Amino acid sequence: MTPQTDRLTAPRDHGVAVAARDFVALDGRYILGLAGTGIEIEIDRLRRRWDELTGELVVRCALPGARTIDAHGTISAADFAVGSLRARQERAKLLAQRSQAPTVDWFGLLEEFSALVLTAERRGQPVVHLRDVDRPAPDEDFDVDGLHLLKRHPVILFGDGGTAKSYLALHAAGRLACRGLRVLFADWELASEEHRDRLERLFGPQMPDLLYVRCDRPLVSEVDRLRRIVQDEHVDYGIFDSIAFACDGRPEDAEVAAAYFRAVRALGVGSLHVAHISKAEGSDQKPFGSAFWHNGARMTWFAQRADESPDSRQLTIGCFCRKSNIGPLRPAVGFELTFEGERTTVRRVDLAGVQELAPRVALSQRMAYLLRGGARTIAEIAGELDAKSDSIEKAAKRSDGKLFVRVVGADGINRIGLLRRGAA
């Protein structure tokens, strides 16, 4: 074929008009690809501004001579009003210049792409029949040394300052990463260097692979960036430290809590959120003493510290489940942190044996701890635990055959013992 014949038969628009279209919707992010042309149009970070749908439009082009600005072939990246005719006309002129392909119908492509996006946005999520939806998996949480974290929903760990909440959150993140999960630690308080130092103290030089991102704006402003990271890095779980600094306003305000949880939902992964307590009454029952935070989370844990060791090298923390929408309340769990040289070790402890925290532990847990030494009568248990005999009897009945067993001693007196020695 002669060069002249080739020019006559080759499509003047580089095959754009007849190219197969591939339109993909990815949780608020839309991409239109044109097969065999090297042209791709993408919009992300969609939001409503004065009732106009606006997003960040990125156009990539691999045609010969295109003026790209990065290795991905991007020729334009800027905000774009999807429903604006004028915006499409102006952007089409820019794309014709940047692509060095004036014969391509850029205006027509933007018209086509905008129509697809607007239609997808109007339709939203399709209606489903609940009876046809798959049942949730039986194991809906991660068990991190007794601290249960929901796989698909937000969990809040809250407590006063000095309760090592950030340390516990980082420890949980590392343990999940050791299981092969992709965990993202989003931080509003410290810096990557401090967390890197803590991670090595907790896990040693062969520390797990943990993704980290520093955040400086409220979560509602960071959510688009974080959502992209979650998608691109295939994140399985997120840690957010901490809520107070990630709020776009006063944490006590209802609208602030509502906006925060909407942003969390947009990320599409389970997450643990660190929070402080306020001076309000009942602050040990709800994050910030607020019903809005309590209701928005699917599970909450209250963290309380016991007295430090005399040399301040050890710190014991009790975590008490205050709410669980997915299943029953979880048993209280304790951790002992030991700070020694270049290492920080985290060891699980039984809170029933910690004098300052034992009164907050469920009676059945305290009974199990006591009965490790052998079966006892109800009167003996009540005396040791400073509890009423009726309460001991009720707790024994509730866990009869699961945790406790009734035995008859050589003296013919009924006693309560552990079903399995060492169970708690």
Q: What is the pLDDT of residue 125?
A: 77
Last-in-domain residue among 358, 381, 402:
358
DSSP code string of 147-162: EEEESSSEEEEEE-TT
- Considering the domain architecture, whether residues 371 and 319 belong to the same structural domain is answered as no
pLDDT tens column, 209-254:
999 999 999 999 999 899 889 988 999 999 999 999 999 999 889 9
**Which amino acid would we find at residue 377?**
T
DSSP class of residue 405 equals E
Q: Are residues 160 and 75 in the same domain?
A: no
The two tokens of residue 62 are 């691999």
DSSP H/E element including 213: strand 211-214
Average pLDDT rounded to a whole number, residues 16-42:
91
Q: For 73-93, what is each residue's pLDDT tens digit?
A: 999 999 999 999 999 999 999
Q: Model confidence over 150-181: pLDDT tens digits?
A: 999 999 999 998 899 999 999 999 999 999 99
Decide which of 153 and 7 is more confident. Answer: 153
In this structure, are 261 and 119 located in the same domain? no
Query: DSSP character for 389?
Result: H
| The Cα angle at residue 214 between residues 313 and 248, in degrees rounded to 5 | 105
- Judge whether residue 8 has pLDDT over 50: no
Check whether residue 182 and residue 222 sit in a common domain.
yes
Tell me, yes or no, whether 331 and 390 share the same domain: no
For residues 183 and 74, state if they share a domain. Answer: no
Q: How far apart are CA 365 and CA 70, in angstroms?
A: 60
**Residues 104 and 169 grouped into a single domain:** no
Closest C-alpha to 218, from 180, 260, 261, 273: 260
pTM for this one? 0.76
Amino acid making up residue 273: H
pLDDT (0 to 100) of residue 69: 94
DSSP code, position 288: G
How far is residue 299's CA from residue 258's CA, in Å, rounded to a whole number? 16
Domain that holds residue 245: 141-358
Considering the domain architecture, whether residues 351 and 320 belong to the same structural domain is answered as yes
In a domain, 314, yes or no: yes
Tens of pLDDT, residue by residue over 363-391, are 988 898 889 888 889 999 999 888 899 99
| 22 and 82 inside one domain | yes
* Residue with the two structure tokens 């002669």: 2
Cα–Cα distance between 238 and 218 in angstroms, integer? Answer: 16
> For residue 312, what are the contacts with CB-CB under 8 A and spacing of at least 6?
339
- Count of structural domains within the chain: 3
Distance CA 358, CA 7 (A): 86
Of 63, 61, 66, whose CA–CA distance to 97 is shortest?
A: 66
41 part of a folded domain = yes
Give whole-number Cα distances, 127 to 23, 124, 132, 268, 337, in Å.
21, 9, 11, 19, 49
Confidence (pLDDT) at 6: 46
Q: Are residues 188 and 106 in the same domain?
A: no
**Contact by Cβ (8 Å): 30, 43:** yes
Q: Are 105 and 174 in the same domain?
A: no
Q: How far apart are CA 26 and CA 32, in angstroms?
A: 11
Does the residue 133 lie in any domain?
Answer: no
| One domain for residues 175 and 322 | yes
Contact (Cβ atoms closer than 8 angstroms) between residue 323 and residue 295: no
CA distance linking residue 271 with residue 197, whole number of Å: 23
